[in-house]
């Protein structure tokens, strides 16, 4: 399995068995998709690069699942139901057949798990590291798209799940965090390797959110982006931000990791706002979803985002999010 079959054979053997609706078994140049009546399509794309989003020795099945899941997270944040994906797979210098076999197996498992059709893609050699890019298409009822632009003064701000686990998982993996229990280490590492897209929140977002985005670059920086798009600011209470027990024990050992958790990437939680009159209904419906969501603050008119600590002081951050171009924000 360390051989290198031709591109044609690779596609036939590993990807054709995953061919979805309208793709003619990957025997054609393109695929035809038929949108459901009265729905609009929501389209998004996210890419992962070796050395940036994953390590060269990460399990190929997990890389495939993460590439899919980060896209499903974007669609969930728009209140959309994921339907189709297209995959661009750039094989790195070190590729072999076993890598592709494991990758396709992981992808197939998640396509089934999330009920998404693979419409096709492209396979090429990068000459360097592995690069994967997925374009995902979802559906919403016409007119119900939830953007980042709609937050209004007085709206309540909610965050799903727990914040900062994946960033701490990455630091744990890089052995920057010392004195961590092995259970906590496993939990945080898993949150980094295998995000859980909050698709169950999509329906609530679709129904009640005035604005929404998925958290991929860091809680504070992403909230700043949403506020900027909406022309507003936000006042957040640190004590209301949801953290996992594992993150809590990391902070107990060394409180410096709290700021890293608030500004580190890869959360794949959803941040959304809603008008105050929806509070009761939103919170009742949130009880029915496993990841839950916490009320972390509110939208204000002044265009600043402040996170107030337990003493009522605004926290300061050197950098509020991860930036791929390397800029400080």
Q: What is the binding site for ligand ADP (CB under 6 A)?
A: 11, 15, 26, 28-29, 87, 89, 118, 120-123
In the three-class reduction of DSSP (H, G, I as helix; E, B as strand; rest coil), residue 313 is classed as coil
Q: What are the structure tokens assigned to 239, written together?
A: 């004590």
Residue nearest to ligand ADP (CB): 120
Q: Rounded to the nearest whole angstrom, what is the least distance from the CB of residue 28 to ligand ADP in the complex?
A: 5
**Which helix or strand (DSSP H or E) is residue 168 part of?**
helix 165-173
Binding of Mg ion by 57 (CB under 5 A): no
Tell me how far apart the alpha carbons of residues 82 and 20 are, in angstroms, rounded to a whole number.
Answer: 14
Stretch that binds Mg ion, among 21-29, 216-224, 267-275, 302-310 (CB under 5 A): 21-29
Q: Rounded to the nearest whole angstrom, what is the least distance from the CB of residue 11 to ligand ADP in the complex?
A: 5
State the DSSP string of 66-82. HHHHHHHHHHHHTTPEE
State the DSSP string of 196-251. ---GGGHHHHHHHEEEEEEESS-HHHHHHHHHHHHT-EEEEEGGGS---HHHHHHH
Q: Say if residue 317 is exposed, middle or buried (CB neighbours under 10 Å; 0-12, 13-18, 19+).
A: middle
For ligand ADP, give the closer residue by CB, 89 or 234: 89
Q: Rounded to the nearest whole angstrom, what is the least distance from the CB of residue 97 to ligand ADP in the complex?
A: 14
For Mg ion, the binding residue among 3, 29, 287, 318 (CB under 5 A) is 29
In the three-class reduction of DSSP (H, G, I as helix; E, B as strand; rest coil), residue 279 is classed as helix
Partner whose binding site includes residue 15, from ligand ADP, Mg ion, none (CB under 5 to 8 Å by kind): ligand ADP
- For residue 57, which phi and psi values (nearest 5 degrees)? -100, 10
Partner whose binding site includes residue 241, from Mg ion, ligand ADP, none (CB under 5 to 8 Å by kind): none
Tell me how far apart the alpha carbons of residues 47 and 214 are, in angstroms, rounded to a whole number.
Answer: 15
Stretch that binds Mg ion, among 29-37, 63-71, 121-129, 258-266 (CB under 5 A): 29-37
Q: Rounded to the nearest whole angstrom, what is the least distance from the CB of residue 87 to Mg ion in the complex?
A: 15
Who's near 241: CB < 8 A, 6+ residues apart? 159, 163, 219, 262, 294, 296, 307
Partner whose binding site includes residue 262, from ligand ADP, Mg ion, none (CB under 5 to 8 Å by kind): none
Q: Rounded to the nearest whole angstrom, what is the least distance from the CB of residue 132 to ligand ADP in the complex?
A: 9
Partner whose binding site includes residue 26, from ligand ADP, Mg ion, none (CB under 5 to 8 Å by kind): ligand ADP
Q: Rounded to the nearest whole angstrom, what is the least distance from the CB of residue 8 to ligand ADP in the complex?
A: 7
Partner whose binding site includes residue 223, from ligand ADP, Mg ion, none (CB under 5 to 8 Å by kind): none
For ligand ADP, give the closer residue by CB, 25 or 276: 25
């Amino acid at each position: 399995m360390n051989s290198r079959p031709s591109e044609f054979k690779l596609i036939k053997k590993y990807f054709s068995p995953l061919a979805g609706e309208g793709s003619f078994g990957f025997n054609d140049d393109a695929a035809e998709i038929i949108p459901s009546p009265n729905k609009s399509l929501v389209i998004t794309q996210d890419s992962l690069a070796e050395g940036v989003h994953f390590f060269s020795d990460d399990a190929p099945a997990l890389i495939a699942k993460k590439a899919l899941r980060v896209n499903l997270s974007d669609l969930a944040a728009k209140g959309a139901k994921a339907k189709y994906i297209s995959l661009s797979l750039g094989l790195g210098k070190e590729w072999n057949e076993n890598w592709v076999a494991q990758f396709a197996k992981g992808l197939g498992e998640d396509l089934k798990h999330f009920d998404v059709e693979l419409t096709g893609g492209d396979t090429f050699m990068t000459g360097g590291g592995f690069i994967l890019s997925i374009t995902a298409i979802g559906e919403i009822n016409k007119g119900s798209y939830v953007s980042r632009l709609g937050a209004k003064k007085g709206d309540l701000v909610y965050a799903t799940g727990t914040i900062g686990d994946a960033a701490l998982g990455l630091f744990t993996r890089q052995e920057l965090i010392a004195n961590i229990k092995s259970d906590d280490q496993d939990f945080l590492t898993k949150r980094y390797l295998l995000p859980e897209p909050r698709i169950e929140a999509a329906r609530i977002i679709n129904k009640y959110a005035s604005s929404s985005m998925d958290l991929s670059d860091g809680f504070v920086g992403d909230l700043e982006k949403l506020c900027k798009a909406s022309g507003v600011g936000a006042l957040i209470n640190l004590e209301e931000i949801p953290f996992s027990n594992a993150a809590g024990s990391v902070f107990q050992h060394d409180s410096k990791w709290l700021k890293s958790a608030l500004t580190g990437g890869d959360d794949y939680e959803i941040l959304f706002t809603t008008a105050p009159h929806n509070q009761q209904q939103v919170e009742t419906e949130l009880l029915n979803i496993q990841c839950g969501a916490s009320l972390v603050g509110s939208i204000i008119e002044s265009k600043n985002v402040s996170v107030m600590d337990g003493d009522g002081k605004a926290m300061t951050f050197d950098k509020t999010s991860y930036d791929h171009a390397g800029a400080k924000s």
